[in-house]
A and B are shown apart, each in its own frame.
Chain A
Amino acid sequence: MTGIAGVGAYAPAGRLPAEAVTAARGQFAASGIEQTAVPDADEDTLTMAYEAATRALDAAACDPSAVDGLFVGTTNPPYEEEAVAPRLVSTLGLSADVTTRQLEGSTRAGVDALVDAREAAEAGGRALVVASDAPRGPPDDPVEHAGGAGAAALVLDPDAPGEVGEPVEHVSPYPGTRFRPAGAAETTGLGVTEYDREAFRETVAAAAAALATDLGDADALALQSPDGGLPYRAAGALGVDTAAIQAGTTVHDLGDTGAASPLLGLASALAGDHESVPVIGYGSGGGATALVVDGSAVPVEIDLDGVETLDYAGYLRRRGEVTTGEPEGGGAYVSVPNWRRTIPQRHRLVAGRCRECGTLAFPPGGACTDCGTLDAYDDVALPGSGVVEATTVIGQGGAPPEFVEQQARGGSYVSAIVALDGPEGGSVSTPVQVLREGEESVAVGDRVEATIRRIYTQEGVARYGVKMRLAVA
């Protein structure tokens, strides 16, 4: 039997209200959505996966190195080819021999990842499943208007409380409901309203019917939510109350979160003290996967609140639709092999401790700044907390070329020096960006904690690394 050691969920802080789209475009083409979550300029499905996974591991009090398998579901990985797992494993601090699987191609991928993770856990392993997504579509397409962002993660463990039930699946060909041709950046559908509704209703109902559980008993159902209307249209076919659908979806506040939708709904329902929650993923091309999760006594850590409201112009900026990209002029060149050499520092804040005098060095290397001993360090993992020692706000015009696009999309940013806490006292300082949400400002003396964001992109290769955010008081 597979239990759940912990659940985590994350959504970006930015929100685009439906009215802002209506005001700008004259219409809002997605039903039942009040606002959508918008990734920050340095966020993508990899960084959101990190956010959700760290919360799940934290809730589970699980040592990352004890994870045996990582299962990721998304329809929008940062790269169509190049797996997210190696960098996600590295940033999370999972062990190098972990089994990794990446599921794509359908919004069902998140629940499918849960199914694969369950299988691994049934075999006795500890599995981390992460669904992360941020769907985009053409400007006037319902997929674009509905498109939100978020990620959810579960740590599955044979010895943990709760249970992930036996999955059932059903496929039925419904081409054209939701698709993205090879090489395209935007997802669309033919928009044949009755056809789309039938595809959804028939497929999810067929999967639900195969479940051993009667959905009528559920007070929360985590059902795939491509928009805020479709799930409710299936209430009759599924034999569930609309209140149960509402209790298991985040679509009204986050928008369509694609492959993350059912697991975000599950996390939200478990955080709302619902215990037995059927989960149904549905996706692109016609297919559904269903299972029942018993989340009794499962710790949940979610962070789904919107902090900043965007107008439509701000949304377009943040998405990079109306920015010009990196200007001519060249960026500070750090070769990819050279970058890779520093990955333990960029991803996990691995510092060095001088073997002679114990002083911390970050990055480790060269002469000890205290005793001068050359290149004699033991690796020490820093906990990721620290205090701001010096700070500035880089506004318009102040960014070097390789950061102009970040500035154009995300607005002014904070560049600081932070004294990183040592594992057993002491500290070591590093330059680092400090993220702000809403009206936050950063001052000398503020406590901060580490997360992972995209630092910059060079030669087409995104570089991810530590940024800080203000610590929760």
Chain B
Amino acid sequence: MQMLVNALATAAILAPAAVAFTLIFTLFRYANFAAGGFVTVGAFAAWTLNAPLGLPLWAGGVGAMGVCAGAVALSDRVVFRPLRGRGGGTLLLVSIALSFVIENIIRFGYGAQVKGFDLPLTGPLVFAGLRVPKETLAVIAISLVATLAVGALLAFTPIGRAVRAVADNPSLANVRGLPVPGVEAFGVIVAGALFGLSGTLVGVDLAIDPNLNWAIAIPVIAAAIVGGLGSPLGAAIGAIVIGLAEELTAAYFTPTYKGAVGFVVIALVLLLRPQGLLGLKVDRK
């Protein structure tokens, strides 16, 4: 039971970023490995607003979502848009280089010391012999609401429909009179805000330092792949799978290899079910 709570907490951190990764993948057809970098930006933005500037963490989180939305939109305009039309491998390589740049800009600005949020101490909630820190509950609740909200936005609203249409076939969307660049920009900003949210949530649970980058990138991408790289719902379910796998590894094997879980899960998915748990089969192009 305790394990399930921990798994959900991990999933809650990964889910927004995995949804964001999937959103960018469906819109632009490349794997943006800078996902970890953006989450790290979110964590540091939230920390800056929270600890040195003394704002409450919710305000830090909102600020982090804004900062990340800006950072992702900027990177899209400056780095990725000029390269559209080049192969997926090129964009992937560029996104890794970008992640590396982001990580080191943060290291340059903040140093390598580990940071933590300034949170009031609260006792855990205890029920049925289960001790759950209130922060963990908040992390799970906020992530759940945010992921459902984005899912509903995409499924039921006109702009969500437009995002799915552009992701499906941008040239047809253009012919049918959709403002494709605007819709893409909207998708990018939503993705950025989700990265920022993940960054804030990860900071509640883990230490905030520049090395978060790769530590978070692999499980996030693993969750997106498990989810089939097509639907936000899939990415959220993927996050739960990764969370469970990490907790099972920690409980029955050794916690030191939690970091390898993402890789192993990706490997298993590729071996057993290349199309992911949900979603389309991704064949070699």
Partners in one complex: no
A residues in contact (CB < 8 Å) with B:
none
B residues in contact (CB < 8 Å) with A:
none
